[in-house]
């Protein structure tokens, strides 16, 4: 049984808003606030509109602090990195960009940034094929675009989007194009899960965990249905080549490869960009260990089940689970 419609759609105006309607809504909200009840607002404001429509109009267009267009390169990077890390959670992504709305960010991604990132992915793949295929390169950072590539739009693909569709029907999906757009050489990470997690576990663990639907690696003993494996495999196809294993002593396990080269993370964590070269080289192990802790915190924001989070991290070698995070989640949600 579907839920009742929020309003009588036959009697309310639809389509583009007129300047008069905008002014009515703007002045009403300015004088009275939303009152916490968007359904009743249009009637009070004298608008013949659905409450949801009013809410959307206000949030996406009329709010005083809204910015439209003119995305900066830094915003591009943040969007890409966050998409990389958490998938199409536009409201969260938008919350990291002052003045931007989820709708705006979503449109921007779908119409522009995705293509841009796809182009970058293609460029990176060619670079990888030319310089590293079979050359014995070690790390993802060292491979591909690396520090020398001027625009590292999407450094790696946390397979949240692609594997999300594989692991959970409850989560939203992203196209293979999206996956490719942000894989940027990181597909190898997914095609070559760390020893601690088999492919189907990695896919499930790395999937977006949505509230109570969360599933832990520890509770995923069974391989996924063939369809899911196929989807995982199709994602892996974007990978130019599986990377060689990290050297002994390096942070390995998927915790170490959790989109750790995202540009977003250094910004979020308040540190500088990651050093050029191979993140998996032993010299960066302490750094990674430190950041892995922060990454745990970040991940826990999206893995609300604390136990699941702990188990998940416990599955990764060398990384100790942390207590439930505090500040970072607040900044993200």
Partner DNA sequence: AATGGTCGCAACCGCTCAATA
Partner DNA sequence: ATATTGAGCGGTTGCGACCAT
- Residue 297 beta carbon to DNA: minimum distance, rounded to whole angstroms: 20
- C-alpha separations of 95 from 69, 77, 105 in Å: 16, 15, 10
Stretch that binds DNA, among 50-58, 148-156, 256-264, 268-276 (CB under 7 A): 50-58
Q: How far is CA 146 from the centre of its chain?
A: 21
Helix (H, G, I), strand (E, B) or coil at 153: coil
Angle at the Cα of 304 from the Cα atoms of 301 and 309, rounded to 5 degrees = 85
Does residue number 331 form part of the binding site for DNA (CB under 7 A)?
no
We find the least distance from the C-beta atom of residue 304 to DNA, in angstroms, to be: 8
Q: How far is the CB of 226 from DNA (least distance, A)?
A: 23
Q: Which of 123, 142, 151, 172 binds DNA (CB under 7 A)?
A: 172
Residue 326 binds to DNA (criterion: CB under 7 A): no
Nearer to DNA, 106 or 318 (CB): 106
Is 208 an interacting residue with respect to DNA (CB under 7 A)?
no
Q: Any contact of residue 162 with DNA (CB under 7 A)?
A: no
Is-contact 164 220, C-beta < 8 A? no
Residue 51 touching DNA (CB under 7 A)? yes
Q: Residue 116: which H helix or E strand, with range?
A: helix 114-131
Report if residue 261 touches DNA, rule: CB under 7 A: no
Q: Which of 214, 223, 220, 225 is nearest to 305 (CA)?
A: 214
Q: 184, 156 in Cβ contact below 8 A? A: yes
Q: Examine residue 122 and tell whether it contacts DNA (CB under 7 A).
A: no
CA angle 184, 122, 177 (to 5 degrees): 70
Q: Give the shortest CB-5-to-DNA separation in angstroms.
A: 8
Please report, as ranges, the residues that interact with DNA according to CB under 7 A. Answer: 2-4, 6, 9, 14-17, 36-39, 50-53, 55-57, 60-61, 68-69, 88-92, 102-104, 106-108, 110-112, 170, 172-174, 210-213
């Amino acid at each position: 049984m579907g839920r009742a419609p929020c309003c009588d759609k036959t009697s309310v105006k639809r389509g583009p808003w007129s300047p008069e309607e905008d002014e009515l809504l703007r002045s009403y909200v300015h004088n009275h606030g939303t009152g916490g009840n968007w359904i009743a607002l249009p009637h009070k404001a004298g608008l013949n509109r659905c409450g949801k429509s009013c809410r959307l109009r206000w949030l996406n267009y009329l709010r005083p602090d809204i910015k439209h267009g003119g995305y900066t390169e830094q915003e591009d990077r943040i969007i890409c990195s966050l998409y990389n890390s958490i998938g199409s959670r536009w409201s969260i992504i938008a919350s990291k960009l002052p003045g931007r709305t989820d709708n705006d960010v979503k449109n921007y991604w779908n119409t522009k940034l995705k293509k841009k990132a796809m182009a970058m992915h293609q460029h990176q793949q060619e670079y990888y094929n030319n310089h590293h295929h079979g050359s014995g390169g070690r790390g993802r950072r060292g491979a591909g675009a690396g520090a020398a590539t001027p625009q590292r739009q999407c450094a790696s693909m946390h397979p949240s989007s692609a594997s999300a569709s594989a692991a959970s029907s409850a989560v939203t999906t992203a196209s293979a194009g999206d996956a490719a757009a942000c894989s940027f050489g990181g597909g190898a990470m997914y095609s070559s899960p760390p020893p601690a997690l088999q492919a189907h576990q990695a896919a499930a663990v790395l999937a977006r965990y949505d509230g109570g639907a969360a599933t832990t690696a520890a509770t995923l003993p069974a391989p996924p249905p063939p369809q899911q494996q196929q989807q995982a495999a199709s994602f892996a196809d974007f990978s130019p080549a599986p990377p060689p294993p990290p050297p002994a002593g390096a942070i390995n396990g998927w915790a170490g490869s959790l989109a750790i080269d995202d540009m977003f993370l250094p910004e979020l964590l308040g540190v500088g960009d990651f050093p050029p070269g191979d993140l998996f080289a032993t010299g960066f192990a302490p750094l990674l260990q430190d950041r892995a802790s922060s990454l745990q915190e970040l991940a826990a924001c999206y893995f609300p089940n604390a136990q699941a989070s702990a188990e998940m991290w416990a599955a990764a070698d060398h990384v100790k689970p942390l207590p439930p995070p505090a500040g970072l989640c607040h900044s993200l949600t």
